[in-house]
Chains A and B, each alone.
Chain A
Amino acid sequence: MKLFLSLCLFLSACMTPALAASAETDALLQQLTQTKLSKMPAMVQQLEATGDESLLPVFRAWLAGDLHYIRDDNTLVVEVDVNGVDTFQDPYTQATIAGLTSKQVRKIKVNNKLRGLLRGVIARIQLTSRDAGVRESAVRALLADIDDETFATLERIYPTEPNSDVRSTMQTALSIYTAQDQNSSQSARLAAIDVLGDSLENDVRNVLLSLERSDNPVLSSAATQALVSINRQVERYALVDQLFFGLSLGSVLLLASIGLAITFGVMGVINMAHGEMIMLGAYTTYVVQLLMPNYIDYSIWVAIPAAFLVSGLMGVVIERLVICRLHGRPLETLLATFGISLILQQLVRTIFSPLNRQVSTPSWMSGSWEINPVLSLTLNRLYILAFALLVFFALVMILKKSSLGLNVRAVSQNRSMAKAMGVKTEWVDAMTFGLGSGIAGIAGVALSQLTNVGPNLGQAYIIDSFMVVVFGGVGNLLGTLVAAFTLGIANKFLEPTTGAVLAAIFVLVFIILFIQKRPKGLFPQKGRAAE
């Protein structure tokens, strides 16, 4: 839809230089206002024959039933709804004509036959547009019903079309016509049906379905074959679609649990307030957008470091105030951090209200990437998938290469030895916890693009994140990665057969059983140190 709107904008921008139609077309248009409905199709053809591209907005308005003329001077105007008030504009310049009321104008009538004609005309005009995208969608609009004229036009411009995508769509359109054309030879029609078997367009399927019911047995069986091949492809793409959603859920799980993999996996501290760190990140995004309402597109780049800082600092504060005093008492840590999560939730509820807050998506993240008519991937999920992987590998690099990483690993493997070697274990603990919490904050920025931002945001992810970390094997970042994507994909593949809730339950029960069998997860740490 957004694509279409921007297309219209683009087109009108293209057309305005022409401003007014030539004298010949002007005369025709004047005539139009006096023509009977039954004579109008001929008028449309005459108008198209002028080859005047500037008529496009007129045709559009006509198609939409918005084309009117002023009774006094037969000038064409377009009715536009501005804030609930009907106003009238010049069709070419879109300048509002002041003082015109609906009583002074009369509508130029349109019926279904005309609409079909108009659609074809509009598409044919667009076929010669300079923009390949416009040409592509124009051809696609023609697929539904191709008349002889369109066919002739398409056949004429097909050999000169430079863009291969547009050419293949054109070929589909041509094949649709040929396949249905009674006058073509049987072999030509069979060849056309064969071509259609590779297309995923909805219209193609309708054509093939009607051909399947035709009297000609040869054509009918060819159509059936083509349909089978189409269905096979559709199924394959449906699988890809499911996989994508699984990966997307996996990336969300990965983002949510990766911080936990550090605090729980590496430090052995169980942080029930982890979900609230995510929530704080999401609210930071909201606040950043409030502060820079005119730069929503760039707000994400501000929000990511801001969320990292907010959640990270909160993590350091929690570590210094509470967790460091409960060292070696995991169950108490669990309870205390749960208390902190309650306080943070209530704090957010008090400051921002208990209602969900709207975080807007930057324009470059909205929309979707249409690979073909049956498969389109939403851009925000795609970006978040990439972002999750980026964060993951950045974290792995930090732990592997930086001195903080070295210290963290030293402390996690042998605390007292690390202390004896001069590592400031308290500082390392605070930094590690800050890092884990900060990453949770970043996860919050990403989540704010997918779900509602509310005080309970973190609650929804805490159990899932723990499951991911435990499933992957505590203390193993790679395990977390594998576990997150496995669970995400498993969930999405179960969903169609069981429904979302049962799928979630199955996954939970599966993990419960899995932990019984392999208490140390998919990739356990081995050896005596793990005892």
Chain B
Amino acid sequence: MSKLINWFTEGRSSGQYTLPFVILLLGVTVLASAANLLLPQDSALYVSTYSITLLGKYLCYAMLALAVDIIWGYCGILSLGHGAFFALGGYAMGMYLMRQIGDRGVYGHPELPDFMVFLDWQELPWFWLGMDQFWFAMVVAVVVPGLLAFVFGWLAFRSRVTGVYLSIMTQALTYALLLAFFRNEMGFGGNNGLTDFKEILGFDLQADSTRVSLFIATAVILSLVLLASQRILSSRLGKVTLAVRDAEPRTRFIGYRTERYKVWLFVYSAVIAGVAGALYVPQVGIINPGEFSPINSIEIVIWVAVGGRGTLIGAIIGALLVNYAKTRFTAIMPDGWLFALGALFVLVTLFLPKGLMGLYGQLQSKRRQSAEQEVQS
């Protein structure tokens, strides 16, 4: 255990901004929460519960972007199906919340969720058993995305499917799941998904305090995931990951089983996405098959691209910025958003291949150069 802690705390060299970023993130979270709970509603500094929920949602997206960045930015695997892992985690949480409704549903059935009563089902399907236990649902939220990623990754990486092919396979994967979850027979509420949640762990989901707690939990988990990922990627495993991204055959010829590295990184990333999904659902109050749609997954990629892939903080910043822009844009001119998003895809790939973080890096090195020149002259 102490070995683990040692490992965690040493070698922060390559992630010099990570710790300050985490402190900033947690600081903002605490301030916003306090402003919501402690200040009166008419105060100028009051943060509405709506904003808190919105922020919590953004942080979930940020975690999702982090997951994509880990495998795309660091390992060169462009997954166009990460929305699937996110949605699976979300469904696990949704199932738990659904079971918590109990007999307060429209049909008042003590055990079956409304949609099952509506479909005239007599008993819970086997995969809904145990989902009334929070801990079990959370295990499922982590294990199912991880398992799917493991099976898919094991098959794909072992037969050396790479590049564009892999991207398309991941897209097909999420598309297949989309079709599957739309079916009522699957037992996940079909088209409408799972919604009308009442409470989580006994706390009312509509209460301000619950909302704030969920927001804080999201921020804390995001910070932990960020620190852990930073640590993993600055270990030798991280170096192998970069090596796989830049020259996979070479890595194999110096004795690394690259497919195993890719599979485990893929699983790690999928688990993060699953956790993000599980945190997302109680905050937005619904999960439906739309989360599986390929366009959602590909949008995550653009968050990462905007922020700067290959930098963990970049992915988070990208997710926050793009989603904030989306919220504002859709409020002002709803039709314009898809134009803006499309243009963002084109412009970022053409002119900003390393994203905002890359731009920052470029500016800094320029400043350093000019400073050096001044010193020399």
Contact = CB atoms under 8 A, between A and B. Distances in A.
Interface string B162-176: 011101110111011
Contact of A339 (B160, B171, B344): B344
A515 B298 contact: no
Interface string A277-301: 0000000000000000000000000
Contacts of B173: 512
Interface stretch (A29-37, A43-51, A342-350): A342-350
Contacts of B294: 463
Those 9 A-B pairs whose CB atoms lie nearest each other, nearest first:
A339-B345, A342-B342, A343-B342, A346-B338, A508-B176, A339-B342, A339-B346, A336-B349, A516-B155
28 contacts: A331-B164, A332-B349, A333-B349, A334-B164, A335-B302, A335-B305, A335-B348, A339-B343, A339-B345, A340-B342, A342-B342, A343-B339, A343-B342, A346-B335, A346-B339, A349-B335, A349-B338, A466-B172, A470-B168, A501-B180, A501-B182, A508-B175, A511-B172, A512-B173, A515-B159, A515-B161, A515-B165, A516-B158
A464 to B, nearest CB: 9
B137 interface: no
B345 A335 contact: yes
B83 to A, nearest CB: 14
A325 B346 CA distance: 11
A336 B172 contact: no
Looking at chain A, what size class is its interface with the partner chain?
Answer: 35 or more
Interface string B130-171: 000000000000000000000010011011110111011101
A217 interface: no
Contact of A342 (B155, B159, B305, B341): B341
B332 interface: no
Contacts of A334: 78, 164, 167
A326 B349 contact: yes
A330 B298 contact: no
Interface of B: 78, 152, 155-156, 158-161, 163-165, 167-169, 171-173, 175-176, 179-180, 182-183, 294, 298, 301-302, 305, 335, 338-339, 341-346, 348-350, 353
Given A332-B349, A336-B350, A516-B159, 16 more contacts: A331-B163, A331-B167, A334-B167, A335-B301, A336-B346, A339-B302, A343-B338, A504-B176, A505-B176, A508-B175, A508-B176, A511-B172, A512-B169, A513-B155, A516-B155, A517-B159
Contacts of A493: none
A424 to B, nearest CB: 23
A300 B75 CA distance: 49
A338 B345 contact: yes
Contacts of B342: 339-343, 346
A102 B342 CA distance: 65
A374 interface: no
A509 interface: yes
B78 A331 contact: yes
Nearest to B174: A463
Nearest to A349: B335
Contacts of B167: 331, 334
A391 B244 CA distance: 42
A340 B294 CA distance: 16
B179 A467 contact: no
Contacts of B164: 270, 330-331, 334
Contacts of A470: 165, 168
A509 B176 contact: yes
Given A501-B183, A508-B175, A339 B78 contact: no
A459 to B, nearest CB: 8
A8 interface: no
Contacts of A341: 342
A404 to B, nearest CB: 25
B172 A343 contact: no
B345 A325 contact: no
Contacts of A516: 155-156, 158-159, 161
Interface in A272-330: 322, 325-326, 330
A519 interface: yes
Nearest to B171: A463
Interface centre among A332, A463, A512, A513, by most chain B C-beta atoms within 10 angstroms, is A512
Contacts of B350: 322, 325-326, 336
Contacts of A466: 168, 171-172
B303 to A, nearest CB: 12
A517 B158 CA distance: 10
A350 B298 contact: no
Contacts of B344: 339
Interface in A385-405: none
A336 B344 CA distance: 9
Interface string A247-280: 0000000000000000000000010000000000
A515 B164 CA distance: 13
A53 to B, nearest CB: 58
A335 B349 contact: yes
Nearest to A333: B349
Contacts of B176: 504-505, 508-509, 512
Contacts of B159: 515-517, 519
A345 B169 CA distance: 23
A340 B349 CA distance: 12
A467 B172 contact: yes
Contact of B172 (A335, A338, A463): A463
A331 B345 CA distance: 12
A513 B168 CA distance: 13
Nearest to A466: B168
Contacts of A322: 346, 350
A297 B301 CA distance: 46
A336 B338 CA distance: 14
Nearest to B180: A505
A512 B159 CA distance: 12
B73 to A, nearest CB: 11
Contacts of A342: 338-339, 341-342, 345
Contacts of B298: 335, 338
Interface string A479-516: 00000000000000000000001101100110111011
A396 B266 CA distance: 40
Contacts of A349: 335, 338
A343 B338 CA distance: 6
Contacts of A338: 298, 345
Nearest to A504: B179
Nearest to B170: A512
Contact of B161 (A335, A501, A502, A519): A519
A336 B347 CA distance: 8
A350 B339 CA distance: 10
A504 B180 CA distance: 9
A335 B165 CA distance: 14
Contacts of B155: 512-513, 516
B76 to A, nearest CB: 8
Contacts of A505: 176, 179-180
A26 to B, nearest CB: 66
B192 to A, nearest CB: 16
